[in-house]
Structure 1
Amino acid sequence: MSHILTQEEVDALLRGISGGEIETDVAVSFDPNDAIPYDLTSQDRIIRGRMPTLEMINEKFARMFRATMSSLLRRVASVTAVSVDMIKFGEFLKTLPVPTSLHLFRMDPLRGNALCVVEAKVIFMLVDIIFGGTGKDFFKIEGREFTAIESSVIRKVVINALEDLEKAWRALLDVSIVYQRSEINPQFVQIVSPTDVVVVIQFEIEVEYSSGILTLCMPYSTLEPVRERLQAGFQSEQLEADRGWVDRLRKNIAKAQAEVGVELGSTEISARDVVNMKPGDVIPLDQYASDAITVYVEGIPKYRGYPGIYKGNQAVRISEVILSKGGEDDGAEGN
């Protein structure tokens, strides 16, 4: 158990600090050469936190794609969202074997291209099942390109997947996914520079005896415009937070101070008259003393009224409210 100071020890400690006998400040030396250059444009600054809304989109896509695959294969298929990671694009490419079925697509109106990557094992499994097999046979996949039949099958599967992805994203943003082209060599799909950060989403496709991975790779810069919405919680929680924010904003605005001024009138005079003007000269205005004057709030015309005296102070009695553009003046009398 740690030692507890007595009252005498505490008093002695305080006297030592106040008298300067106990040093409280430790001198810290600074060497300018120790400073580390920092690039504000580097994507290393990105905070790799959870994206709950993106996870919900992934779960919705998995459910929809599961139904699509089961209908296509006439067998019960399972599609599960496995992980969401943020890594550099160069590191992601190093994880891809050759051959790999790579498909580029856009998500308008978001900028840039994204990737749908289908593991070769998934392709052979689907082709085997579609042509009457069990999908459990293993093939040697290295060292050859995909056949025309395999390419046709996987293209159909990917297009169906992108259609489901588009529907899943519409809960957040009305996107239009456009399929572009397919590749088998990762070197030909440089959607961003190798040092840029990408969001990698993996889904496991399982049909009876076999399984494989389908991966979505989206540049972080593509998702940046909707990053805050992706990192937000459930929509109901977000709406509740928004309502609270509106209430606080309304109360604080009601307490804010606003500058109010009046315009008695205006006129135009020549520069010669301005130069020759002296005390006692009279400047006629463009309205009569009995006319209503304009009241400005923070420089914006808001009311019309008549000048007078109230409790010994100069005052204005409001007669009209000037509505915003598109409205009509309110002719109600006021004080």
Structure 2
Amino acid sequence: MGDILSQNEIDELLKALNTGEIDVQQMQTTTQEKKIRSHDFRRPSKFAKDHIKTLQIINDTYARLITNFLSGYLRTLVQVEVANVEAVSYYEFNNSISNPVVLAVVDFTPLSGSIIFEISPAISFALVDRILGGKGTMIDKVRGFTEIELAIIERIIIQILNLMKEPWENVIAIRPRLEKIETNAQFAQIISPNEMVALVTFNARIGEVEGMINICIPHMVVEPIISKLSTRFWFSTVEKEIIGESKELIEVKIKNTVIPIKAVLGRTTISVNDFIELQPGDVLPLDSAVNGNLEVLVGDLLKFYAKPGVRKNKTAVKITDVVKREDE
């Protein structure tokens, strides 16, 4: 409900209409205007917020796996965490890269196309220095990479890419494979400059050295599975897997559970006075027949009927029937 005008405000409004200060036709035209949402056809937004959120969740897990792997591999303090996930054009990503840089072109099988795994020079040189026995310090002057340094970096990237399978398994079973490593962004033109990509940026810290790690995922690569890149689908898949794993775990624990089983030879009822007078050699008649079945209880539940006997000089019972309950 709109605001209620006072009498003075009504008088002022009528006075403005009479003097021509307010045009009634203009007021009607203004109220009939439609809201327009701008759309850039050169940069269509192909990644929805839900897709970005799912990529954030996937790469949060990936960051933890990289942290654990590099901490053990380099035997030093390593911290990798997701800084940002956004949709940009490939031109913007490529234009922001400074040379030299480590650009790993990765085949994203079974999806068609490739993604780019970028490691900043600071982190790359820190990795090489640490593996060769150094403290993992930052170099004083940025220079190009030698063949030996690239070979060392290539080995690390291959192992890091193998860690990518686990975070993506709830969406698709990928088999990332390193195609090549480029140190110049001009030689890593895998798609059109105007193509939209999801850019995942990691903050990486190795000892005292800080730098960035970027993963560039073109939309055309994940387009066949874009419907699975939603938090609703992702969480429903995770929940189903957790339920399946929990079921198997429960079954294993139940199978290994120790439960008491006892065979009842028979029952009888006597008075307290007779019980007090019992002496060795007295005979108590039971309510079960000589050739009748014995009750076998699992805990306090009647589960089987059996016949008494002997096996390997030990008293035993042989199961003759299984009790079926109505609720089963």
For Structure 1 versus Structure 2, the TM-score category normalised by the shorter chain is 0.5 to 0.7
Counterparts of 1:69 and 1:239 in 2: how far apart (Å)? 27
Is 1:46 aligned to 2:46, yes or no?
Answer: yes
Matched with 1:177 is 176
- What is the Cα deviation at residue 131 of structure 1? 2.1
Matched with 2:95 is 94
Counterparts of 2:147 and 2:133 in 1: how far apart (Å)? 18
- What is the Cα deviation at residue 190 of structure 1? 1.0
Task: Map residues 72-83 of structure 1 onto 2, 5 A cutoff.
Answer: 72-83=73-84
Matched with 1:195 is 194
Question: Does structure 2 conserve the Cα–Cα contact (< 8 Å) formed by 1:118 and 1:214?
Answer: yes
Matched with 1:61 is 62
Question: Does structure 2 conserve the Cα–Cα contact (< 8 Å) formed by 1:53 and 1:229?
Answer: no
Matched with 1:294 is none
- What is the Cα deviation at residue 95 of structure 1? 0.8
- What is the Cα deviation at residue 3 of structure 1? 5.3
Give the SS at the match of 2:100: coil
Counterparts of 2:173 and 2:47 in 1: how far apart (Å)? 26
How many residues matched? 220
Counterparts of 1:170 and 1:88 in 2: how far apart (Å)? 27
Amino acid at match of 2:231: A
Counterparts of 2:180 and 2:228 in 1: how far apart (Å)? 29
The verdict on how the C-alpha distance between 1:234 and 1:47 changes in structure 2, with shifts beyond 3 A counting, is closer
Counterparts of 1:114 and 1:236 in 2: how far apart (Å)? 25
Counterparts of 1:105 and 1:156 in 2: how far apart (Å)? 14
Matched with 1:115 is 116
Matched with 2:5 is 4
Task: Map residues 1-335 of structure 1 onto 2, 5 A cutoff.
Answer: 4=5, 25-26=28-29, 43-46=43-46, 48-50=48-50, 51-142=52-143, 144=144, 146-233=145-232, 235-236=234-235
Counterparts of 1:236 and 1:116 in 2: how far apart (Å)? 26
Counterparts of 1:124 and 1:105 in 2: how far apart (Å)? 21
Question: Does structure 2 conserve the Cα–Cα contact (< 8 Å) formed by 1:53 and 1:233?
Answer: no
Question: Does structure 1 conserve the Cα–Cα contact (< 8 Å) formed by 2:100 and 2:184?
Answer: yes
The verdict on how the C-alpha distance between 1:205 and 1:194 changes in structure 2, with shifts beyond 3 A counting, is same
Amino acid at match of 2:87: M
Question: Does structure 2 conserve the Cα–Cα contact (< 8 Å) formed by 1:107 and 1:178?
Answer: yes
Counterparts of 2:223 and 2:234 in 1: how far apart (Å)? 19
- What is the Cα deviation at residue 78 of structure 1? 1.1
* Per-residue deviation, residues 147-206 of structure 1 (Å, max 9, x unmatched): 122101210111111101122211221111121111111111111111111111111221
- What is the Cα deviation at residue 216 of structure 1? 0.6
- What is the Cα deviation at residue 135 of structure 1? 1.9
- What is the Cα deviation at residue 229 of structure 1? 2.5
Question: Does structure 2 conserve the Cα–Cα contact (< 8 Å) formed by 1:166 and 1:175?
Answer: yes
Counterparts of 1:158 and 1:166 in 2: how far apart (Å)? 14
The verdict on how the C-alpha distance between 1:43 and 1:64 changes in structure 2, with shifts beyond 3 A counting, is same
Counterparts of 1:217 and 1:68 in 2: how far apart (Å)? 22
Amino acid at match of 1:148: E
- What is the Cα deviation at residue 5 of structure 1? 5.3
Give the SS at the match of 2:171: coil
Counterparts of 2:48 and 2:114 in 1: how far apart (Å)? 21
Counterparts of 2:121 and 2:83 in 1: how far apart (Å)? 18
* Structure 2 spans left out of the alignment, 5+ residues: 15-23, 32-38, 240-328
Question: Does structure 2 conserve the Cα–Cα contact (< 8 Å) formed by 1:52 and 1:233?
Answer: no
* Structure 1 spans left out of the alignment, 5+ residues: 14-21, 29-37, 241-335
The verdict on how the C-alpha distance between 1:63 and 1:27 changes in structure 2, with shifts beyond 3 A counting, is closer
Counterparts of 2:106 and 2:47 in 1: how far apart (Å)? 26
Counterparts of 1:179 and 1:99 in 2: how far apart (Å)? 19
Matched with 1:283 is none
* Per-residue deviation, residues 274-332 of structure 1 (Å, max 9, x unmatched): xxxxxxxxxxxxxxxxxxxxxxxxxxxxxxxxxxxxxxxxxxxxxxxxxxxxxxxxxxx
The verdict on how the C-alpha distance between 1:154 and 1:27 changes in structure 2, with shifts beyond 3 A counting, is closer
- What is the Cα deviation at residue 76 of structure 1? 2.5
Q: In terms of mean alpha carbon deviation, does 42-51 or 112-121 score higher?
A: 42-51
- What is the Cα deviation at residue 49 of structure 1? 2.2
Give the SS at the match of 2:127: helix
Question: Does structure 1 conserve the Cα–Cα contact (< 8 Å) formed by 2:43 and 2:89?
Answer: no
Counterparts of 1:77 and 1:239 in 2: how far apart (Å)? 28
Counterparts of 2:30 and 2:53 in 1: how far apart (Å)? 45
Output the TM-score relative to the length of structure 1.
0.58
Counterparts of 2:218 and 2:130 in 1: how far apart (Å)? 33
Amino acid at match of 2:148: I
Matched with 1:269 is none
Amino acid at match of 1:180: E
The verdict on how the C-alpha distance between 1:137 and 1:175 changes in structure 2, with shifts beyond 3 A counting, is closer
The alignment yields a C-alpha RMSD, in angstroms, of: 3.3
Percent identical = 26
Amino acid at match of 2:173: D
